[in-house]
Structure 1
Amino acid sequence: MKEEFITFEKFNDQNSAKELGTLLDDQNIEFLLEDNSLSFDPTFANNSFGKEYCIKLKKSDFEKANKILTDKSENEINEIDKDYYLLSFSDDELIDVVSKSDEWNKFDVSLAKKILKEKGKEITPEKIEEIKQKRILELSKPEEDQKIYIILGYITAILGGFLGIFIGWHLLTYKKTLPNGNRIYVYSQNDRKQGNRILIIGGIFFVFWLTIRILN
């Protein structure tokens, strides 16, 4: 079975995505570059609104790619400007950057580690690994109860609209990618069951209302 390509990084600038692609290609890491940008810009401003470029990797290459980016960022941190915003962060804020490294770019994470080390508060590799595992567990928790979303789904499903069908499908199937490349369902098992029911009801009522309209 062919290994699936999963989103590794997202950009709103194509050149940045291509730069990462070049770096990965140099290290013989297979990747896909996808343009998921909106085809129509409602702002008519020709800016980054609606632009999204995704670099996708095989899950087995996530760790290697992360190490490559980390090594690259560590080589670049000596070239930062003295007014770089991270330099004004408190110790707790810097620790938060390291703890939630999936929300920050690799450069900022490496710089946060460097600043903490210079302050005598170095985070050891063992502690970083512990932080990573805790973060994975935290991100693996399902989203909170989707009561309002579910109620809206049932109402729109009974009315026979596509919105109800979409809500049901979304609750049932939507997944997210963890920093280690694992793909998990976003919603709880109970909410996914509700999504399945909404999807079925939406399909039945869509056919029902369509039949009524045709007969009339």
Structure 2
Amino acid sequence: MKEEFITFEKFNDQNSAKELGELIAEQNIEFLLEDNSLSFDPTFANNGFGKEYCIKLKKSDFEKANKILADKSENEIHDIDKDYYLFSFSDDELIDVVSKSDEWNKFDVSLAKKLLKEKGKEITPEEIEKNKQQRIVELSKPEEGQKNYIILGYITAFLGGLLGIFIGWHLLTYKKTLPNGNRIYAYSENDRKQGNRILIIGAIFLVFWLTIKILN
């Protein structure tokens, strides 16, 4: 079975995405550059709204690509200006950057490690690995607070709207990608069951209301 390509990084600038692609390609890592940008800018401001470019990798290449970016960041942090915003972070905030490295770019994570080390509060590789595993466990938990979303789904499904069908499909099938490349369902089993019901109801009532409209 051919290995699936999974989103590794997202950008709102195409050149940044291409730079990352070229960097990892130098290490013989296959990638896909996917343009998920909106075809129409509702703001008419031409300011990058709705622009999204994804670099996709095979799950087996995630660790290698992360290592490449980490090494690149290690070399860049020595030339950073002292007015860079991380220099104003407290120790706890810097620790948070390292602990939640999936929420930050590799440069900021590397700089946070360097600043903590200079302050005598270096985080050991063992602690970093432990934090990564704890973070995976935390991110693997189902998304909460879908009650209002589910109610909206049922209402729009009974009205025969496509929105209800979309909500049902989204609740049932949507997956999120963890920092290690694993993909898991984003919502709980119960919410996914609700999504399945909404999807079925939406499809039935869409046909029902279309039939009524045709007969009238």
The TM-score range, normalised by the shorter chain, is over 0.9
- The DSSP-based 3-state class of the residue aligned with 2:120 is coil
Runs of 4+ in 1 over 4 A off after TM superposition: none
Task: Tell me what 2:53 maps to.
Answer: 53
Task: Tell me what 1:201 maps to.
Answer: 201
State the identity as a percent: 89
Cα shift readout 1:41-63 (whole Å, capped 9, x = no counterpart): 12222221111110000000000
> How far apart in 1 are the matches of 2:56 and 2:78?
29
AA paired with 1:91?
Answer: D
Structure 2 residue 11 is the aligned partner of structure 1 residue 33:
no
Structure 1 gaps, min length 5: none
Aligned length in residues: 216
AA paired with 1:67?
Answer: K
> How far apart in 2 are the matches of 1:49 and 1:144?
28
Cα shift readout 1:135-172 (whole Å, capped 9, x = no counterpart): 00000000114111111111111111101101100100
After the TM superposition, which residues 54-203 of structure 1 pair with which residues of structure 2 at under 5 Å, given as runs?
A: 54-203=54-203
CA RMSD of aligned residues (A): 0.7
AA paired with 1:110?
Answer: S
> How far apart in 1 are the matches of 2:201 and 2:41?
35
> How far apart in 1 are the matches of 2:210 and 2:40?
31
AA paired with 1:102?
Answer: D
> How far apart in 1 are the matches of 2:34 and 2:42?
21
> How far apart in 1 are the matches of 2:202 and 2:126?
50
Cα shift readout 1:93-149 (whole Å, capped 9, x = no counterpart): 000000110010000000000000011100000000000000000000001141111
**How high is the TM-score relative to the length of structure 1?**
0.99
